[in-house]
Amino acid sequence: MNRQAQAAVLFLVGAALLHAGLTDLYLRYVKAGLRPLLLAAGAVLIVAASATAWYEWRGGRRGRRTEDHGHREPCIAWLLVLPLLALILVAPPALGSYSAVRTGTALQQPYGYTELPTGDPVPLTLVDYAGRAAYGHGRSLGGRSVRVTGFVALDRTGTPYLVRMALNCCAADAQPVKIGLTGKIPPVLQPDAWLEVTGAYTAKRTRDPVNGAPIPFLEVTSAKPVPAPRDPYDETWNN
């Protein structure tokens, strides 16, 4: 792979990063807060590719021939392009119920609880409700009804959970945060289907069979299917 080819690959990788960062594609790989770094990396690679191409052109055709014949790389080096094509052509699906039921809940004890917003039911992230229910025993909820959104997962016994996958950095380290559902549960639940659930705190809880961590429950009063959100991951757990 000569310098012209190297410049072309650098340019394509940089363009792919810019494409991912300027669209929602990047949300399938990294958390939203890393978007500026992704765009900066894409821009740097394109600048490096342009500088490499200019240097090679400036060196002249004779210099290129000498370098190509003296330092020929194996054709297998072009396999480096395959991950790039995968990034451009195939957007991986977000992690769902299959991963959730095989990974222990990653719920962490909050440092504190912010004041609830006005309105009834109170819109909360699933992670926020889980922390208030599991570690605050519902006291910070003040007996109010809440509304949370997540995707459905069913364990081996058929117990339904509402789940969000939380990120530290990227999809490779995604871990589930789960809440159990009880009360007026829809008669038919499809794994990976997204639900908006309204309900109230209940003292019922269980232990995750994978890692023994607490899983709080929500007493469901109503539930309705909703489209998958623009960002399928929830990164608020470690803020």
Domain parsing of the chain, residue ranges: 3-89, 97-238
pLDDT at 101 over 80: yes
Which segments of the chain does DSSP mark as H helices, in order?
3-22, 35-59, 61-70, 81-89, 97-100, 126-134
Mean pLDDT for the stretch of residues 112-130? 90
Question: What's the residue count for the chain?
Answer: 239
Bigger pLDDT: 230 vs 26: 230
Nearest-angstrom CA–CA distance, 88 and 16: 6
Instruction: Please determine, for residue 67, whether its predicted confidence score (pLDDT) is greater than 70.
Output: no
- pLDDT, residue 50, reads 82
pLDDT digits (tens, 9 = 90+) for 30-63: 777 777 887 888 888 888 878 877 777 777 655 5
Amino acid identity of residue 8, one-letter, is: A
Q: What is the SS3 assignment for 106?
A: coil
Which comes out higher in pLDDT, residue 19 or 218? 218
Residue 176, pLDDT score? 92
Q: pLDDT-derived band of residue 110, with 50, 70 and 90 as boundaries? A: confident
Say yes or no to pLDDT of 29 above 90: no
Tell which CATH architecture fits domain 97-238: Beta Barrel (2.40)
pLDDT at position 88: 63
Q: Say if residue 235's pLDDT is above 60.
A: no
Number of separate helices (H) and strands (E) present in the chain? 6, 7
pLDDT digits over 152-193, tens only? 999 888 899 999 988 777 766 778 999 999 999 998 899 999
Q: What pTM was computed for the model?
A: 0.72
Q: What are phi and psi of 208, to 5 degrees?
A: -65, 125
Q: What's the pLDDT band for 136 if we cut at 50, 70, 90?
A: very high
Is residue 239 scored above 50 in pLDDT?
A: no
Q: Which of 3-7, 73-77, 116-120, 207-211 has the lowest mean pLDDT?
A: 73-77
What SS3 class is residue 75?
Answer: helix
**Residue scoring higher pLDDT (126 or 26):** 126
Q: How far is CA 16 from CA 36, 86, 191, in A?
A: 15, 10, 32
Distance of CA 189 to the CA centre of its chain: 23
Asked whether the predicted pLDDT for residue 2 surpasses 90, the reply is no
Among the listed residues 193, 180, 182, 177, the one whose alpha carbon sits nearest the alpha carbon of residue 104: 177
pLDDT, position 204: 95
235 DSSP 8-state letter: -
CA-based nearest residue to 210, from 134, 128, 129, 155: 155
- Give the pLDDT score at 61: 54
Q: What is the pLDDT of residue 93?
A: 72
